[in-house]
């Protein structure tokens, strides 16, 4: 195949033994065809594999290329354990004027308190603050946040780019660590990451300065009904919990309109507007109450009945379980995303 001439002997060369031009062309054509076949067989899978595809029957390359979500390339953001709204996300919007100051464009405040034993139970006490918790957290809810809200169900968010300055909170730091803790933190100094998040997302929309915002939130922390600490690891009725948060001084006037709209619900009464209970897997997770906004500023006004947009976040039943730091890991491990 690769020879074009033949030799009759070492000494003599015969003209008749030289391949004809037609034969040479045929050989060359065969060689070219063989080369093309070999090239296609050896190199095609490599080229296709580079595109993330494969030839039919080839087992070593995926049929479609892997798609990497842009979010996978970003470092994980530390999300706090409860979202703004147990009944699903509500729309948020940035609200600021041209000089970067919040214009306090909202109608009232939601004040949210967290039951830390439930959070630690949900997360199998994997965080440092759960393993080294303060005893008071078992019988006293802690602060989650003070959130400006609008009557239409939306809320302003991240209204300015003013970063939290922890130095402004030095005289409040002890109270903040006890009453507004970040149990994910490895040390006390890391509590500020939670405070910074709450200030950036919600505090910047309040119209208050940093110290006033945090001092106000500390002052609003309600005493937790004794029944929560007394029944840790057990169950309380919804009515027992409602009575512990019923503010008779404000409910008589402010809850009248709300009670008429909610009277058809078997679990609603005039006092339910004074507290919203958010549960995770049947366990008390958060308690939320509402406050008006002072007319002359964004400061906190009188306690009020929560509007329907907030009442809808109440998802606890008639029997509410109270977690303790001694509770085992929950049987249901599916995450609830708020």
Do 238 and 277 contact (CB within 8 A), yes or no?
Answer: yes
At 235 the three-state DSSP class reads: strand
Do 112 and 276 contact (CB within 8 A), yes or no?
Answer: no
- Looking at the DSSP bridge assignments, the partners of residue 320 are 236
| DSSP-derived pairing of the beta strands 92-93 and 155-156 | parallel
Question: For residue 285, how many C-alpha atoms fall within 13 Å in the half-sphere facing its CB?
Answer: 24
Length of the chain: 338
**Residues that are catalytic:** 144, 198, 202
CB atoms under 10 Å from CB of 229, counted, come to: 16
Cα 138 to Cα 156, 169, 224, distances in angstroms? 32, 26, 10
Do 18 and 4 contact (CB within 8 A), yes or no?
Answer: yes
**Which one, of 248, 224, 193, 239, lies nearest residue 113 by Cα?**
224
Helices (H), 151-222: 173-179, 191-201, 210-220
CB neighbours of 144 closer than 8 A, spacing ≥ 6? Answer: 80, 82, 112, 113, 114, 286
Cα(first)–Cα(last) distance of the chain, in Å? 76
Q: What's the rounded Cα separation, in Å, for the pair 184 and 177?
A: 12
Q: What's the rounded Cα separation, in Å, for the pair 198 and 214?
A: 10
């Amino acid at each position: 195949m690769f020879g074009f001439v033949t030799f009759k002997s070492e000494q003599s060369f015969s003209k008749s033994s030289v391949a004809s031009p037609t034969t040479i062309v045929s050989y060359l054509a065969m060689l070219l065809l063989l080369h093309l076949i070999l090239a296609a067989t050896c190199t095609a899978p490599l080229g296709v594999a580079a595109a993330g595809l494969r030839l039919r029957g080839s087992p070593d390359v995926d049929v479609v290329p892997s798609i990497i979500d842009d979010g996978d390339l970003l470092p994980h953001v530390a999300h706090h354990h409860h979202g703004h709204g147990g009944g699903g996300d509500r729309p948020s919007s940035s609200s600021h004027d041209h000089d970067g100051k919040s214009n306090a464009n909202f109608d009232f405040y939601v004040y949210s308190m967290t039951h830390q034993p439930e959070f630690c139970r949900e997360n199998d006490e994997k965080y440092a603050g759960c393993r080294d918790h303060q005893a008071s957290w078992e019988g006293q809810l802690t602060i989650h946040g003070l959130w400006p809200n609008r009557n239409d169900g939306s809320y302003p968010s991240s209204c300015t780019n003013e970063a939290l300055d922890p130095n402004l909170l030095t005289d409040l730091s002890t109270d903040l660590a006890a009453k507004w803790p970040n149990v994910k933190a490895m040390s006390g100094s890391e509590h500020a990451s939670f405070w910074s998040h709450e200030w950036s997302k919600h505090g910047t929309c309040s119209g208050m300065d940093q110290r006033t915002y945090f001092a106000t939130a500390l002052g609003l922390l309600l005493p937790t009904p004794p029944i929560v600490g007394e029944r840790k690891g057990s169950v309380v009725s919804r009515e027992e919990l409602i009575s512990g948060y019923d503010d008779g001084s404000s409910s008589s006037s402010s809850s009248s309109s709300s009670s008429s709209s909610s009277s058809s619900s078997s679990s609603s009464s005039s006092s339910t507007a004074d507290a919203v209970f958010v549960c995770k897997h049947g366990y008390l997770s958060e308690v939320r109450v509402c406050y008006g906004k002072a007319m002359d500023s964004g400061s906190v006004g009188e306690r009020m009945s929560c509007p329907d947009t907030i009442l809808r976040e109440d998802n606890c039943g008639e029997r509410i379980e109270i977690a303790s730091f001694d509770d085992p890991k929950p049987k249901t491990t599916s995450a609830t995303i708020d």
